[in-house]
Structure 1
């Protein structure tokens, strides 16, 4: 795992300032503390920070082809590199290393832009072909690894694994994009391809960007998408056997490492399935780690221990105190953008724990999206059955009125919390799903934002992110559609972002066997009854794991990785929330309605309403403004890169 960065003159061969490039590279020191190098030639500079995992002795980057005309910097893993090397050698390519990085260089020479279609893994890389005068940027299919870029006014293109490397250049304008702010308060993150800064972009998952010197900056090109056909006639028993085989293959590929390797073990179905599969493939006990909480409401450690005991893993557990809220400023600097998933706190802690014992950890991320595990999927299917019974012309006025007048009853039993259901019934399927997953729903954002900010937004609504993806989904099946939307939005913008930054903050590589793209493609062919039956999700995964995992691990209610925000904001963080939300920094933007901010604070503090989610989003936005926008060159911590030889 590594960090990459660079500067490319799209107009000519102006000199690259080596000191500036080095500063950009050092801003990502945490991503690769083992080694760091830069390469500079006319009009091009490439930087790389290395966390040594495979081919430790000879896998240094930037890495060149035989004649030095092609060079790459790469973050991630190409898991099928051992299969590609003989094929490329047979085609006449000579390998000087045993690294997956060198496969990229020769694959580019052999297959050009189509090389990414041959890679199985998580990756973001930048490749320069001097003969073609082309810079080629690429990102993996499911967006596990990040890649940011920005075209400056002078024609120089900056890119990097994290926004902080672009900010370290000094030429990136820190003007915020109002549309990104709207997305943040709707979703809790800024959705691809936008970033919080107007001038910068994220390269979307499964996209490449080929930039030829002297030509205009093109639009990214998509090279892969998942298609939910749901037409596989396979029986349940046969599907279980097939899944076990595919999972074993995916896990086996991700266990290739020259450094200590382990796994996260939360006690949930996904991570437990990964650990059970690892145990079946390993002659040695698997290293596992878990976070326990001193608040029983959030603690899953007993279930993790059951799995650890069954497979005799080397299990480490650390307890996170229920008042572990000292990471707010750290998180703001970590993510470079406003980011409002509070589970970033325990994720940071479990990565911190894992790094004490291993350099690579396998995770269960992607299981909920691919196996249909979220409770919201089952609620959406229930609403869809109701929506299909009445035309929108009837539903919209009737349920729209009920949604407006019915009180929001956070305190009531779930069956009585009908306001959200009424609001969903008044919408189209895509609008309803967006509404259900929104951090601050449309009516709340309408009250949150000032008239001046609404004028900046014009007609833009974050719902358009979902509508754009839905138009390309290729399915109108209710379950498949929302799975597709989550694969394009929540998995990338929230889950993968959270895990990448939290793990890289501790120089830990996290691998994701449940996001293996052949597995994802196969699961998309399966009919819905193998995913959801009644009130049960992940039907196939649970059935396939029954011989390998305890029944109460597989079939207990899903808990999640949460923190007690509601209590924090009425207790130890009460004053901090008030100072941030009602303070000068947010007021100075002119973007928020102060009376509504006062309502959020006072209603929550008094116990009348639970506004912990919107308050957390505002708290993190304030921290972002303070730690990133107001900072000259944000860095993760006080560590500095040692003096190293420059390539």
Structure 2
């Protein structure tokens, strides 16, 4: 895993010092080496974290005749099989690295290379003969890639937005309309970013820049196609997961693991049996899973180390976390991951983690909703809408959120499991109406594409395309790369998805349990309490820490800042905080969302805050 950056000038030769400055911005992604390609209008750069073929894999890398040059971030787990196929077809390899498969694969198959790749990737390939740039991103968005086309036509690309800051053609401007969506999602959703003109190359998409202009296209579509066949789904999942874990352990360095109290990381750890694993803990017992993880590690015979986070450390790390994220993220688990990756990076370069299981196998507690309180859904739709409208005006007390959510059918309101501010709340909170897209506008295409399927599968479809790529995987990449650590995610494998997409509704969730078939597979290798443990996410005690006067004062100072006055009705910010401190409302997620935005804003636009 590494970092890439580059540009293609609209006119004039590429400037070496500019590329060097871009690479310095992302040096944390690859401390083991740097390589550059400069020729004519094109500049491609690479920062390397050496994992496979430690001596022979430097980039940029060329094919045999030097026509194609590539920079690549990620891992191709079936590179050995693809190498054998390409050698048999007459291609000559100069290294043992997975990077070289991209070059010869492109020669042999062109864009048809992409669905043959098993792994995580974001790469840029330059055709020196035709002057064509081709970039592509993996199916699920494990590895990030951003691009920006300047006013003069120059195209920039990089693993992180911050690499653009040193390019003279880049105009750093805030995309204020993204703020409304962020307040609903807690992350920056969709293709747009908080930097005007900067776009995410979305998962399973590719980009081409040639003499005819810039084109962005989807190269693959993730779809769920549930089957009702009497398959032993637990056995099928276990067999497929064993194959995926084995593939994800391929490396020329040690591969360790992350272990929490949940079934996802426990199952991966039980299958992989790394020498050691790492866990986050807290002094607050209600949030701490370290004892559960340590007990399981002893049962599996694996060394474990716990990194306990203090509230002071947590709050002090938020600016660094927001800087590394590039865009504001109000997921408190990102801060925990920042420390977890930092602890692991003291010893190893690679860790396995459990991201993706919830989206593939229906693990979120909200997936129980179609099976609970079904009597309420049988009430007249008009009555439910009236009750929801009334509830939306009430303080955030137990039961209010239920009434607001159930006012409309699931297919008209669900856009993710972290809906924070309602439209009415945002109108009261923001100083300006940015007239951004509504949150459900981003989800509507996925609900339309999944028409006719069961409710849980339709929620999965939405979360796979929005939440997984926009929050889960982005923080996994950015928090691991902040510490020069490669994070591998065996659930997010093409073979695993080929099976998971076929799961029938009764193998997913009901009113009592989530991830039913996955838990049954995990129970083959884990103690039953570990396999059946209720989904908790990645709990962080922010709710409690916010009520400490020391940390409440930090938030209040941010709420009194010039930046806060620019975007928000400051009085409303203090009302949110005061009601939380007095225990009249549980507003910690809303408060943390605004605070993270303000911290991020100071990191990237602080001189403009006034």
TM-score after normalising by structure 2: 0.96
2:360 match: 370
Q: Show CA shifts across 1:496-521 (max 9, x none).
A: 11111110011000000011122112
Contact 2:454 2:505 in 1 (8 A): no
> How far is the alpha carbon of 1:278 from its aligned partner?
0.8
Q: Quick one: structure 1 residues 391 and 312, their matched pair in 2 at CA, closer, same or farther if it must change by over 3 Å?
A: same
Distance 2:383 2:403 in 1: 9
Change (3 A) 1:352 1:397: closer
Alignment partner of 1:314 is 2:303: yes
Query: Secondary structure in 2 aligned to 1:291?
Result: strand
C-alpha separation in 2, matches of 1:436 and 1:544: 25
CA distance in 1, matches of 2:98, 2:79: 5
Structure 1 residues 58 and 248 mapped into 2: Cα distance closer, same or farther (>3 Å)? same
Gap regions ≥5 residues in structure 2? none
Q: Deviations over 1:180-230 (max 9, x none)?
A: 111211111111311111110000001111111x32222x21122222221
1:139 to 137, 140, 149: 137
Distance 1:371 1:631 in 2: 45
2:29 and 2:47 in contact (8 A); partners too: yes
Change (3 A) 1:106 1:478: same
Counterparts of 2:6 and 2:83, CA distance in 1:
27
Aligned to 1:498: 475
Deviating more after overlay: 197-206 vs 608-617: 608-617
Alpha-carbon offset, residue 594 of structure 1: 2.6
Change over 3 Å in CA distance of 1:118–1:384 after alignment to 2: farther
In structure 1, the partner of 2:61 is: 63
Q: Which residue of 1 aligns with 2:324?
A: 334
- Is the aligned partner of 1:258 residue 2:252? yes
Task: Check if 1:553 corresponds to 2:536.
Answer: no
Kept in 2, the 8 Å contact 1:124–1:139? The answer is yes
Q: Return the match for 1:157 from 143, 147, 155.
A: 155
Flag the 1:15–1:318 CA change in 2: closer, same or farther, 3 A. Answer: same
Q: Secondary structure at the match of 1:317?
A: strand
Please state whether the residue corresponding to 1:326 is helix, strand or coil: helix
Q: Aligned residue for 1:530?
A: 507
Query: What does residue range 262-277 of structure 1 map to in structure 2 within 5 Å?
Result: 262-277=256-271
Partner Cα distance (1:256, 1:296) in 2:
37
- 1:229 match: secondary structure: coil
Shift of 1:348: 0.8
In the TM superposition, residue 293 of structure 1 has moved relative to its aligned partner by 1.3
- Could you tell me how far 1:630 is from its partner in structure 2? 3.0
Contact in 2 for aligned 1:38/1:47 (Cα 8 Å):
yes
Q: Distance in 1 between matches of 2:447 and 2:173?
A: 30
CA distance in 1, matches of 2:275, 2:375: 45
1:26-80 deviation per Cα after TM superposition (whole angstroms, max 9, x unaligned): 1110000000011100010000000000011110000001111100000000111
> Matches of 1:596 and 1:79 in 2, distance apart?
51
Tell me, yes or no, if the aligned pair for 2:351 and 2:488 is still in contact at 8 Å. yes
Distance 2:571 2:439 in 1: 23
- CA distance, structure 1, for counterparts of residue 263 and residue 168 of structure 2: 45
Closer, same or farther in 2 for the Cα pair 1:570/1:543, shift >3 Å?
same
**Structure 2 CA distance for aligned equivalents of residues 631 and 313 of structure 1:** 49
**Contact 1:323-1:568 at 8 Å conserved across structures:** no
Tell me the distance in 1 between the aligned counterparts of 2:336 and 2:496.
28
Q: 1:157 to 1:610 in 2, by over 3 A?
A: same
Checking the alignment, whether the CA contact within 8 Å between 1:381 and 1:478 is kept in structure 2 is no
Does residue 6 (structure 1) correspond to residue 6 (structure 2)? The answer is: yes
**Structure 1: gaps (5+ residues):** 280-284, 410-416, 633-647
Aligned to 1:202: 200
How many residue pairs are counted as aligned between the two chains? 606
- 2:240 aligns to what? 246
Q: Does 1:398 align with 2:386?
A: yes
Kept in 2: contact 1:147–1:160 (CA 8 A) = yes
Tell me: CA distance 1:22–1:406, structure 2 relative to 1, closer, same or farther (3 Å). closer
Could you say which residue in structure 2 is the equivalent of 1:234?
230
* Residue range with higher mean Cα deviation, 472-481 or 365-374: 472-481
1:584 deviation in Å? 1.5
Deviation per CA, 1:526-583, whole angstroms, max 9, x where unpaired? 1011111331111111111223111221223333322222222221211111110122
C-alpha distance in 1, partners of 2:261/2:451? 35
The verdict on how the C-alpha distance between 1:351 and 1:6 changes in structure 2, with shifts beyond 3 A counting, is: same
Q: Is this contact kept in 2: 1:298–1:559, CA < 8 A?
A: no
* Post-superposition offset of 1:474: 5.3
Q: CA deviation at 1:232?
A: 4.4
Establish whether residue 349 from structure 1 lines up as the match of residue 325 from structure 2.
no
Q: Secondary structure at the match of 1:434?
A: coil
Cα offset, 1:128, TM superposition:
0.5
CA contact (8 A) 1:395 1:425 kept: no
Q: CA RMSD in A?
A: 1.9
- Map 1:125-136 to 2 at 5 A: 125-136=123-134
The Cα of 1:402 is off from its aligned counterpart by: 4.5
In structure 2, distance between residues paired with 1:518 and 1:475: 25
List per-residue Cα deviations over 1:455-475 (Å, max 9, x = no partner). x326x3222111133233455
Q: TM-score, structure 1 length as denominator?
A: 0.90
What's the counterpart of residue 166 of structure 1?
A: 164
Write the distance in 2 (CA, Å) between the matches of 1:289 and 1:363.
Answer: 10
- Alignment partners' CA distance in 2, 1:190 and 1:578: 24
1:597 aligns with 2:586: no
CA shift digits 1:123-152 (9 cap, x unpaired): 000001122321001000000000000000
2:563 maps to 585
Call closer, same or farther: CA 1:120–1:391 in 2, change over 3 Å: farther
In the TM superposition, what are the counterparts of 1:379-418 in structure 2 within 5 Å? 379-382=369-372, 386-387=376-377, 389=378, 392=381, 394-395=382-383, 397-404=385-392, 407-409=395-397, 417-418=398-399
Structure 2 contact 414–440 (Cα < 8 Å) conserved: no
Q: Residue in 1 aligned with 2:438?
A: 461
Q: What SS is found at the alignment partner of 1:124?
A: strand
Structure 1 SS opposite 2:449: coil
Counterpart for residue 597 of structure 2: 621
The SS at the match of 1:77 is strand
Residue 446 of structure 1 corresponds to 427
Once the 2 structures are TM-superposed, how far is the Cα of residue 90 of structure 1 from its aligned partner? 1.8
Change (3 A) 1:191 1:517: same
SS in structure 1 of the partner of residue 73 of structure 2: strand
CA gap 1:98/1:353 in 2 versus in 1, 3 angstroms: same
The alpha carbon displacement at 1:407 in A equals 4.9
Among 421, 430, 436, the residue aligned to 2:402:
421
